[in-house]
């Protein structure tokens, strides 16, 4: 976000003093097996990452944070025998890694048209889908085995640290990522074909998936949800509903007639799962296209393709501060995320309300810490709001 690394000396002094106040007062708990991890930090006014860094205890970590006051703080998802060794050293000794999912606004379709608050809201919906449907229901991870973390920026992380994931290699992790994202999902495979006797030949009959689990189960559920929704609509509304999936109006009208006209295809699908109710292959394929569109809309998640497969990834330290917003990298339970509002709940209480003068490069509507600000030109605002604007590149500290 914004002008990373481009703060003026006065801005560095101002923001670093508030970060120091936070780190000197806040107890930061490190991750499990802290001493086997590599650490990396970006410092104010210094180019490049400071790494590898290692700690033997949480007290060492806390001392470092209060002395160095980093702009960004990371630790490795991997465990090493000798984490202090360079990455290329054979003596470093990779011992396993946590499984990490990173969902960020960068992965959202159409994110550029959304406000910051809207981006955060949509990413949160994807995190909940990933957690509830894929990680918990499909893959069997429990609440105790998963940790949700607001990144402090534009997304969330999910950490899984159980023994059964630690030894997974990059290809295995990529398979998990592809599964939850629905990558390479082939609808020709999901909608099975059944041979039906017809005199001396056999034709292929398309069926609704009968799977109770996995993507097949989700698709089956969507088929009946779509049919239930469409039967409650007038024809004109149902046609518009289908057009949103890119289906031509004339084809959408024919699909509707096949489903709810004299042929009563609706009942055949509901009772037998039979998709050979449509008069043409074009109708059937476009109906399947509608289901595919709705599946992606309802169940789609977009994890960062580089993070999950990476067995040596650096990830943000929970309870550290994000150097692009000033927000706290905040761990959350599944129940807590429902009502969590980052621009309110991730603002550190250590920041004060003392008024600071900032210069705005353009008009801004800022919702932060439960307050709404309409900002223009030069404005005096609480320091927690000024920190966000300065670090995100939307405003500059104005000094006399």
In CATH, what number is assigned to the domain containing residue 146?
3.90.920.10
pLDDT of the residue at 1: 36
With respect to residue 400, please indicate whether it lies within any of the assigned structural domains. no
Domain interval for residue 201: 187-299
Q: What element of type H or E holds 356?
A: strand 355-360
pLDDT of the residue at 5: 47
pLDDT of the residue at 108: 87
With respect to residue 387, please indicate whether it lies within any of the assigned structural domains. no
Pairwise CA distance, residues 8 & 397, whole Å:
9
Return the HEC string of 96-148: EECEEEEEEHHHCCCHHHCCHHHHHHHHHHHHHHHHHHHHHHHCCCCHHHEEE
What is the rounded (10 degree) CA torsion for 281, 285, 287, 290?
Answer: -160
pLDDT of the residue at 203: 63
Boundary of a domain, candidates 315, 331, 349 = 349
Residues 289 and 321 in one domain: no
With respect to residue 321, please indicate whether it lies within any of the assigned structural domains. yes
Residues 282 and 215 in one domain: yes
With respect to residue 330, please indicate whether it lies within any of the assigned structural domains. yes
Residues 128 and 168 in one domain: yes
Residues 293 and 307 in one domain: no
With respect to residue 319, please indicate whether it lies within any of the assigned structural domains. yes
pLDDT of the residue at 295: 92
Residue pLDDT, tens place only, 190-236: 888 877 776 555 666 788 888 778 999 999 999 999 999 999 999 99
pLDDT of the residue at 400: 63
pLDDT of the residue at 252: 97
Residue pLDDT, tens place only, 22-57: 999 999 989 999 999 999 999 999 999 999 999 999
Note if the bond before 52 is cis, omega within 30 degrees: yes
Residues 168 and 242 in one domain: no
With respect to residue 363, please indicate whether it lies within any of the assigned structural domains. no
Q: What is the CATH number of the domain that holds 239?
A: 1.10.8
pLDDT beneath 50: ranges in the chain: 1-5
DSSP output for 191-246: S-EEEEEETTEEEEEEB----SSHHHHHHHHHHHHHHHHHHTS-HHHHHHHHHTTT
Q: Assign 317 to helix, strand or coil.
A: coil
Strand partners, 158: 101, 148
With respect to residue 340, please indicate whether it lies within any of the assigned structural domains. yes
Asked if 101 contacts 307 with a C-beta cutoff of 8 angstroms, the reply is yes
Residues 206 and 140 in one domain: no
Residues 93 and 131 in one domain: yes
Among 389, 323, 326, CA closest to 361 = 389
Residues annotated catalytic, as ranges: 102, 104, 304
Residues 61 and 209 in one domain: no
Boundary of a domain, candidates 261, 281, 299 = 299
With respect to residue 366, please indicate whether it lies within any of the assigned structural domains. no
Residues 289 and 195 in one domain: yes
Residues 192 and 323 in one domain: no
pLDDT of the residue at 148: 98
Average confidence score pLDDT of the chain: 92
Number of domains in the chain: 2
Boundary of a domain, candidates 299, 328, 358 = 299
Among 74, 180, 156, CA closest to 336 = 156
Residues 295 and 316 in one domain: no
Residues 168 and 317 in one domain: yes
């Amino acid at each position: 976000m914004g002008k990373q690394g481009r703060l003026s000396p006065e801005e560095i002094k101002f923001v670093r003093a508030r970060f120091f106040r936070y780190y000197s007062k806040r107890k930061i708990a490190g991750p499990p097996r802290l001493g086997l991890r590599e650490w990396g930090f970006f410092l104010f006014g210094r180019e490049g990452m400071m790494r590898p860094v290692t700690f033997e205890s949480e007290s060492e970590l806390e001392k470092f944070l209060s002395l160095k006051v980093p702009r960004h703080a990371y630790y490795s998802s991997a465990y090493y025998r000798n984490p202090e060794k360079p990455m290329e050293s054979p003596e470093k000794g990779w011992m396993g890694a946590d499984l990490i999912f990173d969902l960020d606004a960068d992965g959202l379709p159409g994110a550029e048209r959304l406000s910051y608050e809207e981006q955060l809201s949509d990413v949160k919906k994807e995190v909940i889908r990933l957690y509830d449907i894929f990680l918990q229901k499909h893959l069997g991870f429990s609440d105790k085995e998963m940790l949700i973390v607001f990144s402090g920026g534009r997304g969330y992380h999910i950490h899984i640290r159980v023994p059964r994931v630690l030894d997974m290699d990059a290809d295995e992790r990529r398979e998990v990522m592809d599964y939850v994202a629905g990558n390479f999902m082939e609808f020709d495979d999901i909608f099975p074909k059944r041979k039906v006797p017809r005199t001396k030949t056999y034709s292929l009959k398309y069926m609704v998936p009968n799977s109770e689990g996995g993507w097949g189960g989700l698709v089956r559920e969507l088929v009946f949800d779509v049919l239930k929704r469409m039967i409650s609509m007038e024809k004109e509304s149902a046609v518009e509903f289908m057009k949103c999936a890119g289906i031509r109006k004339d084809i959408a009208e024919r699909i509707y007639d096949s489903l709810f006209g004299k042929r009563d295809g609706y009942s055949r699908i509901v009772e037998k799962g039979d998709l050979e109710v449509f008069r043409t292959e074009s109708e059937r394929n476009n109906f399947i296209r509608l289901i595919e569109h709705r599946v992606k809309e309802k169940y789609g998640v977009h994890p960062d393709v580089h993070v999950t497969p990476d067995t040596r990834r650096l990830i943000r330290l929970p309870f550290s501060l994000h150097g692009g917003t000033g927000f706290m990298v905040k761990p959350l339970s599944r129940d807590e995320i429902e009502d969590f509002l980052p621009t309110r709940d991730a603002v550190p209480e250590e920041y004060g309300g003392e008024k600071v003068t900032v210069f705005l490069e353009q008009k801004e509507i800022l919702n932060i810490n439960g307050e709404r600000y309409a900002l223009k030109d030069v404005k005096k605002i609480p320091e927690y709001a000024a920190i966000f604007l300065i670090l995100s590149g939307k405003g500059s500290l104005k000094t006399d």
